[in-house]
């Protein structure tokens, strides 16, 4: 296993173990609140991940995933600066969601505000009992700006998200599981081990299949029915005529595990 860092303060640590990279947000004194430097570090990694990486695990240090936007930075911006900052968040969240690499979130503690926006951009989410999901912006006199109305809103639906924001309601891991904010609710200390287990499983898939699932499914959800079905056919045609598809079929017939490129 190798470890690298993205700046002198080690604000984002990266551990590489074979095809899996584990990214740890490392601002424990701030409950891993998102500052510009941390957002830039995530952007830098997802813009050009190491060539052999096939799956990414995203987690936080100090018992928290991410407590959202660092409000000390927020209050220093005027309206124009806040708009540009919000659009930059959108760009980075989209890069994480559509980089083509599956991202597994190992969550505990605060998954609040921008932290929930970040988690909703990842593809597999695992929550420990300490996890708190919340959108508290209304209690701060502000509005979400990192993509929640699209990312979180499509998980919860607009009616439930509106109530969540109006009341500042908190959801725990079990409630988050029922709502779709997390896919797995696990015991204390189990999120990261399970993330590693799932990442290893996902890494064995054909890269093209993983890429298609990441790129196509969300976009098809935005399409009219007929357009979505046509896009599905195109994805099927490309994937099912690939070398990996041939290997998958041969492995099934030979009763062995496939070895994809």
CA distance 192 to 209: 24
- Quote the CA–CA distance of 96 and 229 in Å, as a whole number: 25
Signed CA dihedral, 30, 32, 33, 36: sign only: positive
Of the residues 94, 117, 128, 163, only one is catalytic, namely 117
Which of 109, 129, 103, 105 minimizes the C-alpha distance to 45? 103
The set of residues, in sequence order, having a beta carbon less than 8 Å from that of 110 and lying 6+ positions away, is 31, 32, 64, 65, 66, 67, 68, 132
* Active-site residue, from 80, 137, 232, 246: 137
137 is a catalytic site residue = yes
Helix, strand and coil content of the chain, in percent to the nearest 5, comes to 50, 15, 35
Tell me the three state secondary structure of residue 125: strand
What are the backbone angles phi and psi of residue 23, rounded to the nearest 5°? -100, 125
Angle at 11 between CA 8 and CA 15, to 5 degrees: 95
Rg, C-alpha atoms of the chain: 19
Strands annotated E in the chain: 2-5, 12-17, 20-25, 55-60, 103-107, 110-112, 124-127, 132-134, 170-171, 184-185
Verify whether residue 117 is a known catalytic residue. Answer: yes
What are the catalytic residues?
117, 137
């Amino acid at each position: 296993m190798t470890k690298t860092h993205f700046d002198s303060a080690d604000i984002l640590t990266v551990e590489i173990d074979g095809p899996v990279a584990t990214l740890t947000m490392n601002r424990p004194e701030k409950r891993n609140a998102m500052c510009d430097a941390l957002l830039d570090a995530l952007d830098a990694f997802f813009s050009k991940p190491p060539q052999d990486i096939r799956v990414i695990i995203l987690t936080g240090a100090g018992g928290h995933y991410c407590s959202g936007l660092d409000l000390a930075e927020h209050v220093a911006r005027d309206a124009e600066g806040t708009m540009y900052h919000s659009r930059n968040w959108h760009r980075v969240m989209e890069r994480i969601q559509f980089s083509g690499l599956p991202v597994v979130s190992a969550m505990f503690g605060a998954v609040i505000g921008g932290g929930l926006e970040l988690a909703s951009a990842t593809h597999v989410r695992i929550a420990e009992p300490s996890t708190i999901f919340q959108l508290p912006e209304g209690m701060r006199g502000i509005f979400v700006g990192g993509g929640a109305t699209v990312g979180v809103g499509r998980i919860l639906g607009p009616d439930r998200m509106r109530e969540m924001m109006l009341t500042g309601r908190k959801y725990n891991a079990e409630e988050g599981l029922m709502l779709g904010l997390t896919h797995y609710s696990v015991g204390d200390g189990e999120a990261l081990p399970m993330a590693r287990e799932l990442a290893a499983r996902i890494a064995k898939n054909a890269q093209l299949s993983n890429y298609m699932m990441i790129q196509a499914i969300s976009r098809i959800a935005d399409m009219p029915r007929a357009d979505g079905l046509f896009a599905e056919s195109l994805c099927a045609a490309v994937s099912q005529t690939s070398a990996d598809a041939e290997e998958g079929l041969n492995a099934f017939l030979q009763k062995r595990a496939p070895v994809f490129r």
